Amino acid sequence: MKKQEFKIRINASPEKVWENLIGETTYPQWTSAFAEGSSVETDWQKGSRAVFHDGNGSGMISEIAENKPNEYLSIRHLGCINKGVEDFESEETRKWSGSLENYTLHPVDGETELIIDMDMAEEYEDYFLKTWPKALEQLKVLAEKN
């Protein structure tokens, strides 16, 4: 497992960035960079289950490891969904089960620096290196206009 970091500066307050990061209508918009039709089922509270859907019957099952509103969110990935079936035991799932995806928001000169650090299996590294910048740019557009 390898740790990767992504950053972006957004001309909006941490509260506005947070609102767009986890908002019911905005989350699917910025995460469409990963999968068109993506969505999430969660209340975002620490310890809560989070089910991330790709819009095609697949996705990930996770838990909210930490939630400090407007400052920090940590998601622990536990399993996946393949064609509607939950999987926590396959060899493929065990490769990345327990990995973390962390979001840190810092106010900087009237803007917000958003840092995402995540654990990733090497076979997904190219995908995330191409996709995260697109997703973050979409989040920036949303947060700066809303």
pLDDT at 79: 95
pLDDT at 70: 98
Residue-wise pLDDT tens digits, 29-66: 999 999 999 999 999 999 999 999 998 889 999 999 99
Residue-wise pLDDT tens digits, 68-123: 999 999 999 999 998 889 999 998 888 888 999 999 999 999 999 999 999 988 88
Q: Look at residues 52, 60, 58 and name the one whose alpha carbon lies nearest to residue 28.
A: 52
Q: Which residues contact 63 (CB under 8 A, 6 or more apart)?
A: 47, 48, 49, 50, 75, 76, 78
- Its pTM stands at 0.94
pLDDT band at 5 (very low <50, low <70, confident <90, very high): very high
DSSP bridge pairs for 105: 114
Q: Does residue 146 carry a pLDDT above 80?
A: no
Contact present, 73 and 66 (Cβ < 8 Å): yes
pLDDT at 96: 85
